[in-house]
Structure 1
């Protein structure tokens, strides 16, 4: 895993929950070295991790899917029920084909097979922190979840300008604003403005919902 830390203007707070002590400590060390968060709280217990997130919401939650005392999906559901904007990456040693679709419908932005090299988690964290999505290459998200999850905006693709449609296609592919800008020859700031207008026009608040809207409207 790379050791150079990304430059960020705001401090980051992470919560990590995994009931396998050796893996948790290895990942914790790697995250501290790579991202240098202001705070990293780690737990072996899902209930304790959820309580910590509710008491002091982190920027990023990295959660094992199958915990001994709790299902990682239940943690995500509770965060979303409380309308917390914490970004979530889910890990599992037992990936299944339907999981990415299910997790996206819950508002998860990243999904990684724990059997993958640690740099996969590194890439997932970087992509999600940059506002994108990351799914393990071994388990790509299928397109059958367009109608799952919360109610989608009723507006169609015509609500977006041609340029906004170009931007949104790249965003739902998981590209961060800087990468979108490089492909469209736009500044990162301009891309961020387009993203803000797109979210406002559609009335969505996160990328997973935007992905589902795009699939339903043929922009995936």
Structure 2
């Protein structure tokens, strides 16, 4: 596993079809965090269970027409929050605009996300290597926004056994991947204890997807 901590992070090509846009979300950082708080008040963060019965270390919620959920029945998208029985909160316009603009900056015009997964990481939380393949339309990219404390993004290949790189993710960074990189294995290394002026010891991640 190799580390990749480039000095010039304004635009970093990870692989064909995948770009890191350094600091892309910084101009709206406060508005994004305010929106997360509003969403979580209606659809609280929770630790989902994997189909195998393991509790996920990352807490999550959703916004948009569909939300991603996991339980003993499997991974899937659902229009209803199983915790509240209500529809997921509407995706804020600034969320959709950020996702659309970031996708276009990486070469994916016309991206219209239906789901925003919001992950909350505390120290010790991690996201193991996985592929995003629960979406019906794999022609559309994934847009991932980092907020709060720094993390190490695990970026692999199309097979789980491929070489994995560790890429520094800072507050405001956006990663976009699609096309030949759409099914690359990726994850987040165990989050180290740290502090950010706006989020304390927490890291938030917004992941935008077109699910259908």
TM-score tier (shorter): under 0.3
Looking at CA atoms only, which structure, 1 or 2, has the larger radius of gyration? 1
When the two structures are superposed, what TM-score results if normalisation uses the length of structure 2?
Answer: 0.24
Larger proportion of strand: 2
Structure showing the higher helix proportion among its residues: 1
